[in-house]
Homo-oligomer: A and B are copies of this chain.
Amino acid sequence: MVTPDKNTRIGWIGTGVMGQWMCRHLLNAGFETSVFNRTKAKSQALIGEGAHWRESPEAVAKASDIIFTIVGFPEDVEAVYLGERGVLAGANPGAIVVDMTTTAPSLAQTIAIAAQKKGIVALDAPVSGGDVGAKNATLSIMLGGDEETALAITPLLKIMGKKVTYQGAAGSGQHTKMCNQIVIAGTMIGMCESLIYGHKAGLDLHVMLKSISGGAAACWSLDNLAPRILNNELSTGFFVEHFVKDMGIALAEARQMQLALPGLALANQLYQSVIAHGGARLGTQSLMLALRHLNHMA
């Protein structure tokens, strides 16, 4: 296994809103870094800062000791790792690959097994904290896979995040991220239903929020997203289509485990309604749209 040191060659696949910042932190820390992104333009800034452009995930893997990926949907992760010119086709024995995309725990397990057959260790390391956390290197990183390898790369992950927590075998990082999203699904419903009730009851919602913040109703969504709703700012933040992807993964995993999660299922349905109303690329606070339409208030 590779033990990361200052000569470790980094590979980075996926230089979108999150990945670009995370990769930049490693680049700024002095690591030689190879990059690939489906849309090359989104890597241009990093290339200007010294990253080496490679033509495929395979090429990135060939040139690197530790390869990080953060792409979009589970099918993207599958293509990047298991595809013809994918990471596992190029990675050298002894390499470490780390998927930071939020994806299916079962896919993380599949990749870990496929990697192991080639003498490669695959970890899952999804993050929470959004683009702000990526930029400020304050992400919470949830690690699954071989423990020794996970501990070995933790110093690298600490360059990108504030909190790095080992959660267990392959897929455990993803399962932990699902736990995170399941809580959020509940807080979003509670927060939005509270606002629509207060509005209908004729309250001044700004004043109402003063009364209920900081107590037993306190939550991140109430502090950060309720003000955006009052400000009619529905387009910023975490995309609905990504949250729906995450809830879909959690519900599919729950189904496989024969686990009924009625609250998550309801949140998923309400967000499907947001998508039906054209809100796929709005922020998650646009759950409010579904409740407004449901109540003929749109």
Which residues of A line the B interface, CB within 8 A?
105, 128-130, 133, 140, 142, 163, 165-169, 171-172, 175-176, 178-191, 193-198, 200-204, 207-208, 210-212, 214-222, 224, 238, 250, 253-254, 257-264, 266-267, 270, 294-295
- A207 contacts which chain B residues (CB < 8 A)? 165-168
Given contacts A188-B186, A196-B259, whether A215 and B220 have CB atoms under 8 Å apart is yes
Given contacts A165-B210, A165-B211, A266-B263, whether A250 and B218 have CB atoms under 8 Å apart is no
- A216→B295 contact, CB < 8 A: no
User: Which of A197, A210, A224 gathers most chain B CB within 10 Å?
Assistant: A197
Given contacts A167-B204, A194-B182, whether A211 and B295 have CB atoms under 8 Å apart is no
* 9 shortest interchain CB distances as A-B pairs: A186-B190, A219-B219, A189-B263, A183-B217, A175-B201, A183-B190, A182-B194, A180-B212, A179-B194
- B197→A182 contact, CB < 8 A: yes
- B219→A218 contact, CB < 8 A: yes
- A263 contacts which chain B residues (CB < 8 A)? 186, 189-190, 193, 263, 266-267
Please state the number of chain copies in the assembly.
2
- B217→A220 contact, CB < 8 A: yes
Contact of A193 among B142, B201, B264 (CB under 8 A): B264
Contact of A128 among B179, B184, B216 (CB under 8 A): B216
User: Which of A190, A193, A197 gathers most chain B CB within 10 Å?
Assistant: A190
Other A-B pairs, 13, CB within 8 Å; known A142-B211, A180-B212, A186-B194: A130-B216, A140-B214, A165-B210, A166-B207, A167-B203, A168-B204, A175-B201, A180-B194, A180-B216, A183-B190, A183-B194, A189-B190, A196-B259
A117 to chain B, nearest CB (A): 23
In the complex, what distance in Å separates the CA atom of A263 from the CA atom of B294?
12
- A166 contacts which chain B residues (CB < 8 A)? 207
Can you report 11 A-B residue pairs in the complex whose CB atoms are below 8 A from each other? A129-B215, A140-B215, A167-B207, A175-B198, A175-B201, A179-B203, A179-B212, A189-B189, A189-B263, A217-B220, A263-B263
A contact face: mostly helix, strand, loop, or mixed: helix
- B183→A140 contact, CB < 8 A: no
Residue of chain B at shortest CB distance from A290? B262
- A258 contacts which chain B residues (CB < 8 A)? 295
A71 to chain B, nearest CB (A): 21
In the complex, what distance in Å separates the CA atom of A176 from the CA atom of B201?
9
Contact of A163 among B130, B163, B211 (CB under 8 A): B211
Residue of chain B at shortest CB distance from A238? B216
- A220 contacts which chain B residues (CB < 8 A)? 215-219
